[in-house]
A and B are shown apart, each in its own frame.
Chain A
Amino acid sequence: MKSSCRGSSLEPLLFTLPCIVMLGVFVYLPLIQNFYFSLYSFSAFSPNKLFIGLENYRLLVDDPVVRTALINNVRYAVISVLIQVCFGLVLAAILEDKSFKRVGPFFRTVFFMPVLMSISVVCLLFGFIYHPIDGLLNQFLEIVGLPFLQRPWLGSARTAIWATIAVSQWHSTGYIMMLFLVSIQKIPEELYEACELDGAHKITRFRVVTLPHVKEIFFVASVITVTGSFMVFSEPYILTRGGGPGTSSITMAVYLYQSGFFRDMMGYASTLAIVIFVISVVLAVFQAMVFRTGKE
């Protein structure tokens, strides 16, 4: 009896051990190692490392490119929450509405299709759309009589970051919409019927029935979107060739990559990685506290 008790207490540990080992080796160990590297100055070419303490962190505080990158990441996060999460929820609610029952599946597929495409392909595609001379967008503006709105979308510091963010919204809104669709489909139909009997309008039904029931998934979608916004890499890397013109559309992840593998400052790149990690964790915890979720 005694041995059986001991066996049962070990069992959960044994079952979780592979996961703990994998997480330890591939997540936590590199994280600790990364912090260790951030205290050094070293080149990817050289095995020698020079201990500089917190000098990389001091450098980071004074670095104007970090400020630009952080502002761009915040822009990414705010717009992504507004469009991907809020608009994604509205889109899902509309597609699940009774009046859209017939065309709903078609539009679900249409909106979800971009998610299935590789982000590199999407960026190349939008590179053609934004092309300053032969691009579809500028030609369209010409045709509809708005030539004064034509501009080099990716070549101007005023528009490059917004044009890049727009691509991400086009690519990812369908994914968040799909998460909301699944959540909305789980809401009992009777609640909507009861609301309808009480004479509630569609917007009221959305407010009093849909919103409270998708609170959990709203939290999950917000966390995914906000943390994703602080790690966005491919879009600025491909569309604006690493955050150009200058550093106007650079993000933290692109700056990290360039610092490490283009400017050969591996220690500084590790410091940037630590900052991205801390920001992501703080935001995730903050969101968890604000939403008071995580029970489901």
Chain B
Amino acid sequence: MAKRSATVLLLLVTALVSVTAGGLSEAKSNDVVTLQFFHRWPMEPRFSYFNEVVAEFERLNPDIRIEMDMVENESYKEKIRVLISSNDMPDVFTSWSDSFALNLARSGRVRSLNAILERNPEFAQSFIQSQLEPFTFDGITYGLPLTIDGKVLVYNLSMWQEAGIAQEPRTFDELITVLDRLKSAGHETPILEGLANPWAISHFLGTLFQRYIPADVLARDYNEATGEFTHPGYRTAIEYFMQLVGYMGPSATSLTHTEVRNLFIAGRLPMMYMQFAEFGFVHADPSSPAYGFFNFPGICGGHGDFSLLTGAPEGLMMSETSRYPEEAERFVKFLLSQENAAKFVEQVGAPVAVVGAVREENSYPTLMQATEMIKSSSGSVPWLDNAMNIRVADAFMRGVQSVASGDMTIDQVLNSVQAAARMVRAEASQK
């Protein structure tokens, strides 16, 4: 009996000590706040940039520790959806703009930034104002832009010169002439895209739809409640894309966009469709070829504004459920300060949405030209997978990928797109 009592007493004492120790450690951990930061740039040079900036922030703010996690592009899209519906939502995270941001905002778990912007007018004015719009829905801003982007056709200057091409094409037909000349100059694959990545296909489709189909039709179809996708322009636009695929060779559907970019950097490819955000990779390799770029040409008979540039900003969002909103705000302001934005331009080589951060001394000529092109373009075209409901976009992306590999017809793709749109419409009507 005495032995049993002693055991019980020992257990009680152990439990008491554990509870007390737990309380003490809780009190100690209260001194340093830990913020979860989740982004989509695990590759160099962005990886090092964020490591450095986070370390600098922790040095200047000893009361805050940043736990940083990152995954690449498509995995990020999936993981952030999982996290946002879980209880483990990061305090600060990156997001694409337009419908992707809207979907996140609809969860009700993304913090409205209106109060922050109103309290800090100088901070609010530090962004290129047009880049805030893709994060603003019904007058509420949910994200702050970090990068701005545009997608252009880049070309290897010396390959063009050798093929005797002196002028950048202004129409799709001229582009085809350029590709033919490159082909007859010995380049079996004059243009290439990593069609294994469905999103890479969506970038072409988004641009071609905008160039060819009337804006009011697109506005109606991209709307979940009214989208039908019955306009014949979709068929024609996909046919234009298939014309380009005809120049890409049989390997395109098994290559990723990154592999294609590496071929371009290695001087093994005359042309590709590239984002300004990728210019840094070309610039970082001293052996990369000299290159030029131009906006995707217009299409004869097309109804869209040919001067629009496909591309959208990416930015930072904050969790509505964060236990440390004030600390999260400090961290976001630090990341988006002009000083750090300029550092981003210098180290990453990509344009940013912070006014005055892209300067001659921290940039390079093509990036300056890119920034000018963004500023001078009459507007931007959002990425297709962010412009419409993801189910419809998926039907386009996967379907056209199958057309490129010869396993589906364009009509079959359009049927599946229209079926997806019907479903989305029906659900939208029930909301």
Contacts and interface: CB of A to CB of B under 8 A. Distances in A.
B251 A45 contact: no
Interface string A38-49: 000101111100
A244 interface: yes
Given A246-B401, A264-B81, A132 B391 contact: no
A141 B160 CA distance: 33
Contact of A157 (B251, B407, B427): B407
Nearest to B402: A246
A265 B391 contact: yes
Nearest to A138: B251
A152 B81 contact: no
A263 interface: yes
Contact of B254 (A153, A248, A257): A153
Contacts of A46: 106-108
Contacts of B82: 44, 261
Interface string B284-304: 000000000000000000000
Contact of A262 (B254, B255, B394, B407): B394
B107 A45 contact: yes
Contacts of B427: 41, 50
Contacts of B402: 157, 245-248
A151 interface: yes
B84 interface: yes
A177 interface: no
Interface string A151-195: 111111100000000000000000000000000000000000000
Contacts of B85: 44-45
A75 interface: no
Contact of A245 (B103, B263, B404): B404
Contacts of B404: 245
Interface residues of A, number: 33
B406 A263 contact: no
Contacts of A130: 254
Contacts of B253: 152, 155-156, 244-245
A240 B408 CA distance: 17
A164 to B, nearest CB: 12
B198 interface: yes
Given A241-B198, A246-B407, A248-B405, A155 B254 contact: yes
Interface string B158-187: 000000000000000000000000000000
Contacts of A43: 103, 106
Interface in B375-431: 390-391, 394, 398-399, 401-402, 404-408, 427, 430
Interface in B81-119: 81-82, 84-85, 103-104, 106-108
B407 A245 contact: yes
A279 interface: no
Interface residues of B, number: 39
Interface of A is mostly: loop
Contact of B408 (A44, A132, A246, A265): A246
A155 B252 contact: yes
A244 B81 CA distance: 22
A45 B407 contact: no
A45 B103 contact: yes
A55 to B, nearest CB: 10
B81 A155 contact: no
A257 B394 CA distance: 14
Contacts of B77: 262
Contacts of A257: 78
Nearest to B263: A133
Interface in A238-291: 240-242, 244-248, 257-258, 261-265
A244 B398 contact: yes
Nearest to A62: B419
A44 B391 contact: no
B255 to A, nearest CB: 7
B407 A248 contact: yes
Given A245-B401, A245-B407, A262 B250 contact: no
6 contacts: A155-B196, A155-B251, A242-B74, A246-B405, A247-B398, A261-B82
Given A155-B405, A246-B407, A262-B77, 10 more contacts: A44-B85, A46-B108, A132-B255, A153-B254, A155-B196, A157-B402, A242-B198, A244-B253, A245-B195, A264-B390
